[in-house]
Amino acid sequence: MVKLLDQDILTREVLDWKGVHLLHFAGSSCSQKARVFLNLKQIEWESHPIDLGTNENYNPWYLGINPRGLVPTLVIDGEVHIESNDILTALEHRFPTPELIPANLASEVAFLLKHEDDLHLDLRTLTFRFMRPYLGPFRSTEALNSFRDGGSGTVEGQVDANKKREIDFWETNNAGISDEAVRKSAAAFRTAFDELEAKLAKSPYFLGNEISVLDIAWYIYAVRLSTVGYPLQKLHPRVHGWFEGLNARDEFAKEVARPVGHADAIARFQEELSREGKALTDIAML
Ligand SMILES: N[C@@H](CCC(=O)N[C@@H](CS)C(=O)NCC(=O)O)C(=O)O
Protein backbone atom coordinates (compact mmCIF):
# COMPACT_ATOMS: atom_id res chain seq x y z
CA MET A 1 0.00 0.00 0.00
CA VAL A 2 1.31 3.42 -0.85
CA LYS A 3 1.17 5.29 2.43
CA LEU A 4 3.59 8.20 2.29
CA LEU A 5 6.38 8.43 4.81
CA ASP A 6 6.99 11.60 6.78
CA GLN A 7 9.94 12.52 4.55
CA ASP A 8 7.79 12.28 1.38
CA ILE A 9 5.33 14.90 2.66
CA LEU A 10 6.31 18.56 2.25
CA THR A 11 2.86 20.05 2.87
CA ARG A 12 2.96 19.51 6.58
CA GLU A 13 -0.43 20.97 7.52
CA VAL A 14 -2.26 17.83 6.40
CA LEU A 15 -0.57 15.86 9.15
CA ASP A 16 -3.01 17.58 11.55
CA TRP A 17 -6.15 16.83 9.51
CA LYS A 18 -8.60 14.61 11.35
CA GLY A 19 -11.17 12.34 9.72
CA VAL A 20 -11.40 11.36 6.05
CA HIS A 21 -10.32 13.88 3.40
CA LEU A 22 -10.26 13.22 -0.33
CA LEU A 23 -8.33 15.46 -2.70
CA HIS A 24 -9.90 14.79 -6.06
CA PHE A 25 -11.26 16.09 -9.36
CA ALA A 26 -14.85 15.61 -10.52
CA GLY A 27 -13.99 14.26 -13.98
CA SER A 28 -11.01 12.09 -12.99
CA SER A 29 -11.68 8.39 -13.35
CA CYS A 30 -9.58 7.42 -10.33
CA SER A 31 -11.31 10.06 -8.22
CA GLN A 32 -14.70 8.78 -9.38
CA LYS A 33 -13.69 5.29 -8.32
CA ALA A 34 -12.80 6.51 -4.84
CA ARG A 35 -16.04 8.48 -4.50
CA VAL A 36 -18.23 5.52 -5.53
CA PHE A 37 -16.40 3.41 -2.96
CA LEU A 38 -17.02 6.04 -0.26
CA ASN A 39 -20.70 6.18 -1.25
CA LEU A 40 -21.20 2.43 -1.04
CA LYS A 41 -19.51 2.38 2.37
CA GLN A 42 -21.51 5.45 3.46
CA ILE A 43 -18.34 7.03 4.82
CA GLU A 44 -18.46 10.70 5.75
CA TRP A 45 -15.66 12.62 4.10
CA GLU A 46 -14.44 16.09 3.42
CA SER A 47 -13.98 17.15 -0.19
CA HIS A 48 -10.91 19.05 -1.42
CA PRO A 49 -11.28 19.63 -5.17
CA ILE A 50 -8.04 19.83 -7.17
CA ASP A 51 -8.58 21.32 -10.61
CA LEU A 52 -6.70 19.31 -13.23
CA GLY A 53 -7.94 21.77 -15.88
CA THR A 54 -5.74 24.52 -14.41
CA ASN A 55 -2.91 22.12 -13.43
CA GLU A 56 -3.55 22.65 -9.74
CA ASN A 57 -2.11 19.14 -9.29
CA TYR A 58 1.30 20.56 -10.24
CA ASN A 59 1.37 23.37 -7.71
CA PRO A 60 3.83 23.02 -4.83
CA TRP A 61 1.13 22.68 -2.19
CA TYR A 62 -0.44 19.64 -3.87
CA LEU A 63 2.88 18.09 -4.89
CA GLY A 64 3.80 18.32 -1.22
CA ILE A 65 1.00 15.81 -0.57
CA ASN A 66 1.14 13.78 -3.76
CA PRO A 67 4.68 13.65 -5.23
CA ARG A 68 3.25 11.99 -8.38
CA GLY A 69 1.02 14.98 -9.13
CA LEU A 70 -1.99 12.72 -9.49
CA VAL A 71 -5.46 12.66 -8.02
CA PRO A 72 -6.87 11.28 -5.84
CA THR A 73 -5.08 11.53 -2.51
CA LEU A 74 -6.58 10.37 0.75
CA VAL A 75 -5.67 11.99 4.05
CA ILE A 76 -7.05 10.04 6.96
CA ASP A 77 -6.26 11.18 10.48
CA GLY A 78 -3.00 12.70 9.23
CA GLU A 79 -1.92 9.66 7.21
CA VAL A 80 -1.42 10.35 3.49
CA HIS A 81 -2.31 7.63 0.99
CA ILE A 82 -1.84 7.88 -2.76
CA GLU A 83 -2.74 5.50 -5.64
CA SER A 84 -6.49 4.99 -5.91
CA ASN A 85 -6.45 1.24 -5.42
CA ASP A 86 -4.28 1.57 -2.34
CA ILE A 87 -6.60 4.29 -1.08
CA LEU A 88 -9.55 1.90 -1.39
CA THR A 89 -7.62 -0.82 0.41
CA ALA A 90 -6.76 1.56 3.26
CA LEU A 91 -10.43 2.57 3.51
CA GLU A 92 -11.50 -1.08 3.53
CA HIS A 93 -9.25 -1.73 6.51
CA ARG A 94 -10.63 1.24 8.39
CA PHE A 95 -14.30 0.74 7.36
CA PRO A 96 -14.79 -3.02 6.83
CA THR A 97 -18.56 -2.97 6.19
CA PRO A 98 -20.10 -3.47 3.75
CA GLU A 99 -17.22 -5.63 2.60
CA LEU A 100 -16.03 -4.51 -0.84
CA ILE A 101 -12.67 -6.30 -0.75
CA PRO A 102 -13.48 -9.79 0.56
CA ALA A 103 -10.86 -10.62 3.21
CA ASN A 104 -10.45 -14.18 1.89
CA LEU A 105 -9.72 -12.88 -1.62
CA ALA A 106 -7.51 -9.92 -0.71
CA SER A 107 -4.43 -11.01 -2.65
CA GLU A 108 -6.43 -12.06 -5.72
CA VAL A 109 -8.20 -8.70 -5.67
CA ALA A 110 -4.86 -6.86 -5.34
CA PHE A 111 -3.58 -8.74 -8.39
CA LEU A 112 -6.71 -7.95 -10.42
CA LEU A 113 -6.62 -4.29 -9.41
CA LYS A 114 -3.00 -4.08 -10.50
CA HIS A 115 -4.14 -5.26 -13.94
CA GLU A 116 -6.74 -2.48 -13.97
CA ASP A 117 -4.21 0.13 -12.87
CA ASP A 118 -1.77 -1.00 -15.56
CA LEU A 119 -4.34 0.12 -18.14
CA HIS A 120 -4.59 3.62 -16.78
CA LEU A 121 -2.28 5.24 -19.33
CA ASP A 122 -4.22 3.47 -22.08
CA LEU A 123 -7.36 5.08 -20.72
CA ARG A 124 -5.63 8.44 -20.71
CA THR A 125 -4.48 7.90 -24.30
CA LEU A 126 -8.05 7.30 -25.52
CA THR A 127 -9.41 10.10 -23.35
CA PHE A 128 -7.02 12.70 -24.67
CA ARG A 129 -7.56 11.70 -28.26
CA PHE A 130 -11.36 11.43 -28.23
CA MET A 131 -12.54 13.92 -25.60
CA ARG A 132 -10.69 17.03 -26.73
CA PRO A 133 -13.42 19.68 -26.41
CA TYR A 134 -13.93 18.85 -22.77
CA LEU A 135 -10.29 18.78 -21.79
CA GLY A 136 -8.71 22.02 -22.87
CA PRO A 137 -5.01 22.20 -23.70
CA PHE A 138 -2.46 19.49 -23.01
CA ARG A 139 0.11 20.10 -20.26
CA SER A 140 2.22 23.18 -21.00
CA THR A 141 6.00 23.30 -20.63
CA GLU A 142 5.50 25.71 -17.73
CA ALA A 143 3.15 23.29 -15.95
CA LEU A 144 5.52 20.39 -16.51
CA ASN A 145 8.43 22.44 -15.14
CA SER A 146 6.43 23.20 -12.03
CA PHE A 147 5.76 19.47 -11.72
CA ARG A 148 9.43 18.63 -12.22
CA ASP A 149 10.53 21.07 -9.54
CA GLY A 150 7.82 20.49 -6.93
CA GLY A 151 7.34 17.99 -4.16
CA SER A 152 9.79 15.70 -2.44
CA GLY A 153 10.17 13.47 -5.52
CA THR A 154 10.09 10.48 -3.20
CA VAL A 155 7.45 7.89 -2.42
CA GLU A 156 7.93 5.60 0.55
CA GLY A 157 11.36 7.21 0.95
CA GLN A 158 12.61 6.22 -2.53
CA VAL A 159 13.17 8.44 -5.55
CA ASP A 160 9.98 7.96 -7.50
CA ALA A 161 10.26 6.72 -11.09
CA ASN A 162 6.55 7.30 -11.67
CA LYS A 163 7.11 11.04 -11.81
CA LYS A 164 9.32 10.65 -14.86
CA ARG A 165 6.73 8.30 -16.39
CA GLU A 166 4.08 11.01 -16.01
CA ILE A 167 6.28 13.73 -17.51
CA ASP A 168 7.27 11.40 -20.37
CA PHE A 169 3.61 10.70 -21.13
CA TRP A 170 2.82 14.39 -21.60
CA GLU A 171 6.03 15.18 -23.48
CA THR A 172 5.44 12.29 -25.88
CA ASN A 173 1.78 13.05 -26.47
CA ASN A 174 1.59 16.83 -26.27
CA ALA A 175 1.86 17.07 -30.05
CA GLY A 176 -1.13 14.72 -30.43
CA ILE A 177 -1.89 11.07 -29.82
CA SER A 178 -0.98 8.84 -32.73
CA ASP A 179 -3.27 6.32 -34.43
CA GLU A 180 -0.82 3.63 -33.45
CA ALA A 181 -1.12 4.56 -29.76
CA VAL A 182 -4.92 4.51 -30.12
CA ARG A 183 -4.88 1.04 -31.66
CA LYS A 184 -2.59 -0.32 -28.95
CA SER A 185 -4.71 1.08 -26.13
CA ALA A 186 -8.00 -0.03 -27.70
CA ALA A 187 -6.63 -3.56 -28.17
CA ALA A 188 -5.56 -3.69 -24.51
CA PHE A 189 -9.09 -2.81 -23.44
CA ARG A 190 -10.65 -5.25 -25.85
CA THR A 191 -8.63 -8.08 -24.28
CA ALA A 192 -9.44 -6.93 -20.74
CA PHE A 193 -13.15 -6.61 -21.46
CA ASP A 194 -13.23 -10.01 -23.19
CA GLU A 195 -11.96 -11.43 -19.89
CA LEU A 196 -14.66 -9.56 -17.99
CA GLU A 197 -17.28 -10.84 -20.44
CA ALA A 198 -16.24 -14.39 -19.60
CA LYS A 199 -16.47 -13.72 -15.86
CA LEU A 200 -20.01 -12.39 -16.21
CA ALA A 201 -21.08 -15.65 -17.86
CA LYS A 202 -20.63 -17.22 -14.43
CA SER A 203 -21.91 -14.61 -11.99
CA PRO A 204 -23.67 -11.23 -11.93
CA TYR A 205 -20.61 -9.41 -10.55
CA PHE A 206 -16.90 -10.02 -11.05
CA LEU A 207 -16.37 -11.77 -7.74
CA GLY A 208 -19.71 -13.55 -7.52
CA ASN A 209 -23.11 -12.44 -6.31
CA GLU A 210 -22.05 -9.27 -4.52
CA ILE A 211 -20.62 -5.99 -5.75
CA SER A 212 -16.94 -5.61 -5.00
CA VAL A 213 -14.20 -3.10 -5.59
CA LEU A 214 -13.59 -4.75 -8.98
CA ASP A 215 -17.06 -3.80 -10.17
CA ILE A 216 -16.42 -0.22 -9.12
CA ALA A 217 -13.04 -0.07 -10.83
CA TRP A 218 -14.24 -1.55 -14.15
CA TYR A 219 -17.46 0.46 -14.06
CA ILE A 220 -15.41 3.64 -14.08
CA TYR A 221 -13.38 2.41 -17.05
CA ALA A 222 -16.57 1.37 -18.87
CA VAL A 223 -17.99 4.87 -18.39
CA ARG A 224 -14.94 6.48 -19.92
CA LEU A 225 -14.67 3.99 -22.76
CA SER A 226 -18.33 4.48 -23.66
CA THR A 227 -17.78 8.23 -23.66
CA VAL A 228 -14.89 7.99 -26.10
CA GLY A 229 -16.90 5.82 -28.50
CA TYR A 230 -15.81 2.30 -27.56
CA PRO A 231 -18.62 -0.07 -28.73
CA LEU A 232 -19.18 -1.81 -25.41
CA GLN A 233 -22.63 -3.20 -26.25
CA LYS A 234 -21.52 -4.62 -29.58
CA LEU A 235 -18.28 -6.21 -28.38
CA HIS A 236 -19.14 -7.20 -24.81
CA PRO A 237 -22.92 -7.52 -24.39
CA ARG A 238 -22.81 -9.02 -20.90
CA VAL A 239 -20.50 -6.28 -19.70
CA HIS A 240 -22.91 -3.78 -21.22
CA GLY A 241 -25.84 -5.29 -19.28
CA TRP A 242 -23.83 -5.24 -16.02
CA PHE A 243 -22.84 -1.64 -16.77
CA GLU A 244 -26.45 -0.56 -17.29
CA GLY A 245 -27.37 -2.15 -13.96
CA LEU A 246 -24.73 -0.12 -12.11
CA ASN A 247 -25.66 3.02 -14.05
CA ALA A 248 -29.13 2.77 -12.56
CA ARG A 249 -27.68 3.15 -9.04
CA ASP A 250 -27.29 6.63 -7.67
CA GLU A 251 -24.08 5.82 -5.74
CA PHE A 252 -22.46 5.16 -9.12
CA ALA A 253 -24.27 7.46 -11.55
CA LYS A 254 -23.95 10.68 -9.57
CA GLU A 255 -20.15 10.43 -9.51
CA VAL A 256 -19.76 10.19 -13.26
CA ALA A 257 -22.43 12.71 -14.28
CA ARG A 258 -21.02 15.43 -16.51
CA PRO A 259 -21.74 19.13 -16.09
CA VAL A 260 -24.44 20.55 -18.39
CA GLY A 261 -23.01 21.18 -21.83
CA HIS A 262 -19.99 18.87 -21.53
CA ALA A 263 -21.85 15.72 -22.51
CA ASP A 264 -23.33 17.52 -25.55
CA ALA A 265 -19.94 18.92 -26.57
CA ILE A 266 -18.36 15.47 -26.40
CA ALA A 267 -21.26 13.87 -28.30
CA ARG A 268 -20.97 16.53 -31.04
CA PHE A 269 -17.23 15.90 -31.25
CA GLN A 270 -17.84 12.16 -31.56
CA GLU A 271 -20.34 12.76 -34.40
CA GLU A 272 -17.85 14.99 -36.16
CA LEU A 273 -15.14 12.32 -35.85
CA SER A 274 -17.53 9.67 -37.22
CA ARG A 275 -18.40 11.84 -40.23
CA GLU A 276 -14.70 12.25 -40.94
CA GLY A 277 -13.94 8.54 -40.44
CA LYS A 278 -11.74 9.39 -37.44
CA ALA A 279 -13.74 7.91 -34.57
CA LEU A 280 -12.24 5.32 -32.24
CA THR A 281 -14.09 2.55 -34.07
CA ASP A 282 -12.60 3.68 -37.39
CA ILE A 283 -9.03 4.00 -36.18
CA ALA A 284 -8.96 0.87 -34.05
CA MET A 285 -11.22 -1.02 -36.51
CA LEU A 286 -13.53 -2.20 -33.73
N1 LIG B 1 -2.34 5.05 -10.65
C2 LIG B 1 -2.92 6.28 -10.25
C3 LIG B 1 -3.39 7.02 -11.47
C4 LIG B 1 -3.96 8.37 -11.07
C5 LIG B 1 -4.11 9.28 -12.27
O6 LIG B 1 -3.49 9.10 -13.32
N7 LIG B 1 -4.95 10.26 -12.09
C8 LIG B 1 -5.20 11.20 -13.16
C9 LIG B 1 -6.66 11.53 -13.22
S10 LIG B 1 -7.65 10.10 -13.47
C11 LIG B 1 -4.43 12.48 -12.91
O12 LIG B 1 -4.32 12.92 -11.80
N13 LIG B 1 -3.87 13.04 -13.98
C14 LIG B 1 -3.06 14.20 -13.89
C15 LIG B 1 -3.27 15.13 -15.00
O16 LIG B 1 -4.20 14.91 -15.79
O17 LIG B 1 -2.53 16.11 -15.08
C18 LIG B 1 -4.09 6.03 -9.29
O19 LIG B 1 -4.72 4.98 -9.41
O20 LIG B 1 -4.35 6.87 -8.41
pLDDT digits (tens, 9 = 90+) for 180-209: 999 999 999 999 999 999 999 999 999 999
Q: In angstroms, what is the span from residue 220 Cα to ligand 1's centroid?
A: 13
**Rounded to 5 degrees, what are φ and ψ at 47?**
-95, 135
**Rounded to 5 degrees, what are φ and ψ at 30?**
-70, -35
Q: In angstroms, what is the span from residue 127 Cα to ligand 1's centroid?
A: 12
Q: Is the dihedral of CA 75, 81, 83, 86 positive or negative?
A: negative
Distance of CA 61 to the CA centre of its chain: 22
DSSP calls for 159-225: E-HHHHHHHHHHHHHTT---HHHHHHHHHHHHHHHHHHHHHHTT-SBTTBSS--HHHHHHHHHHHHH
Rounded CA-CA distance 49/137 in Å is 20
What are the sequence ranges of the domains in the chain?
A: 1-98+139-175, 112-138+178-283
pLDDT digits (tens, 9 = 90+) for 119-166: 999 999 999 999 876 676 678 899 999 999 999 999 999 999 999 999
Q: In angstroms, what is the span from residue 68 Cα to ligand 1's centroid?
A: 9
**Residue 58 DSSP symbol:** G
112-138+178-283 topology per CATH: Glutathione S-transferase Yfyf (Class Pi); Chain A, domain 2 (1.20.1050)
pLDDT digits (tens, 9 = 90+) for 45-70: 999 999 998 999 999 999 999 999 99
Ligand 1, atom 6, residue with closest C-alpha? 70
| Mutation test residue for ligand 1: of 24, 37, 65, 70, the one with most atoms within 8 Å of CB | 70
Please say if the pLDDT value at position 8 is more than 70: yes
Rounded CA-CA distance 88/56 in Å is 23
Q: For residue 63, which of 137, 148, 136 has the smallest C-alpha distance?
A: 148
Ligand 1, atom 17, residue with closest C-alpha? 52
Instruction: Pick one of 3.40.30.10, 3.40.50.1820, 1.10.1060.10, 3.90.580.10 as the CATH number of 1-98+139-175.
Output: 3.40.30.10
